[in-house]
């Protein structure tokens, strides 16, 4: 039986990579699509692990050949998901997880409306700011203009949260991981036509609570903090607070 296509999106610094790595270590049968990009590797990144790093010329040749399921240009660099990842997962009967931004997710949903989409929210602008700053430190450069641009972009991405089937708030890592696992378990049960039993009832309850239509009240304070609700304060700025230290993404 063909597997499920999971799409997971989040603003940079939301802890998405940590969640994905935890899921892959605890749940079997989930392949991960390593994206292609034209940006340069950062820190300890390795070709073929975090990304397939390539040149702009090669990427554009791949676009012309129709090799991408989705692609987008972000901050002057291309990012894309090769169709080959989906073909290989389908052939093996595995599920496939795509870690892509809202532009890419929109393209994939248009082509594959049965895909299961998940959006990861940072709990507050302050937490997101700290994670972004710590990431920049780890990369050896902290530029206020870059940090501000990333936070501004985060707000734009969060505006699209309602387009996703499930919403996770990554405030407590262990809880967010449990929610992501429950979503995978439940979507597999639904695919197989199974209903909750004593063993899986809790997974259904957790996943149901994460559905977008059931998350609106819980998300309201976060949306207000990011200036995304009518009447909420102006958009948060990285420059409004002094530097602080916290756990890296």
CATH number where 130 lies: 3.40.50.300
Mean pLDDT of 53-77: 94
- Residue 110 within a domain: yes
Structure tokens at 237: 């700025």
Count of structural domains within the chain: 1
- Residue 190 within a domain: yes
- Residue 211 within a domain: yes
- Residue 68 within a domain: no
pLDDT tens for 148-181 read: 887 888 888 999 999 999 999 999 999 999 999 9
Q: Which domain holds residue 166?
A: 5-33+94-240
- Residue 74 within a domain: no
Write down the residue that tokens 């609700």 correspond to. 229
The pLDDT-based confidence of 132 (bands split at 50, 70, 90) is: confident
What pLDDT does residue 247 have? 35
pLDDT tens for 206-232 read: 999 999 999 999 999 999 988 887 654
* Closest among 29, 32, 34 to 1, alpha carbons compared: 29
Q: What is the pTM of this model?
A: 0.85
- Residue 83 within a domain: no
Q: Calculate the average pLDDT of the chain.
A: 87
The pLDDT-based confidence of 201 (bands split at 50, 70, 90) is: very high
More confident residue, 146 or 18: 18
- Residue 52 within a domain: no
- Residue 62 within a domain: no
Tell me, letter by letter, the H, E, C secondary structure of the chain: CCCCEEEEECCCCCCHHHHHHHHHHHCCCEEECCCEECCCCCCCCCECCCEEECCHHHHHHHHHCCCEEEEEEECCEEEEEEHHHHHHHHHHCCEEEEECCHHHHHHHHHHCCCCEEEEEECCCHHHHHHHHHHHHHHCCCCCHHHHHHHHHHHHHHHCCHHHCCEEEECCCHHHHHHHHHHHHHHHHHHHCCCCCCCCCHHHHHHHHHHEHHHCHHHHHHHHHHCCCCCCCCCCCCHHHCCCCCCCCC
């Amino acid at each position: 039986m063909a597997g499920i296509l999971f799409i997971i999106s989040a603003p940079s610094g939301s802890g998405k990579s940590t969640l994905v790595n935890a899921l892959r270590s605890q749940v079997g049968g989930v392949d991960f699509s390593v994206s292609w990009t034209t940006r340069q590797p950062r820190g300890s990144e390795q070709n073929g692990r975090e990304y397939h790093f390539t040149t702009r010329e090669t990427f554009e040749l791949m676009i012309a050949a129709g090799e991408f399921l989705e692609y987008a240009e972000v901050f002057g660099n291309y990012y894309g998901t090769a169709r080959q990842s989906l073909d290989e997962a389908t052939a093996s009967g595995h599920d496939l997880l795509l870690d892509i931004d809202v532009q890419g997710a929109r393209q994939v949903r248009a082509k594959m409306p049965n895909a299961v989409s998940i959006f990861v929210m940072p709990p507050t602008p302050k937490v997101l700011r700290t994670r972004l700053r710590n990431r920049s430190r780890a990369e050896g450069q902290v530029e206020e203009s870059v940090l501000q641009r990333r936070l501004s972009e985060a707000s734009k991405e969060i505006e699209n949260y309602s387009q996703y089937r499930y919403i996770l708030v990554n405030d407590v890592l262990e809880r967010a991981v449990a929610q992501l696992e429950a979503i995978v378990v439940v979507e597999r049960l639904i695919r197989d036509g199974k209903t909750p039993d004593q063993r899986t009832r809790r997974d259904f309850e957790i996943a149901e609570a994460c559905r977008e239509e059931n998350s609106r009240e819980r998300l309201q304070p976060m949306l207000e903090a990011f200036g995304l609700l009518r009447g909420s304060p102006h958009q948060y700025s990285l420059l409004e607070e002094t530097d602080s230290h916290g756990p890296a993404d």
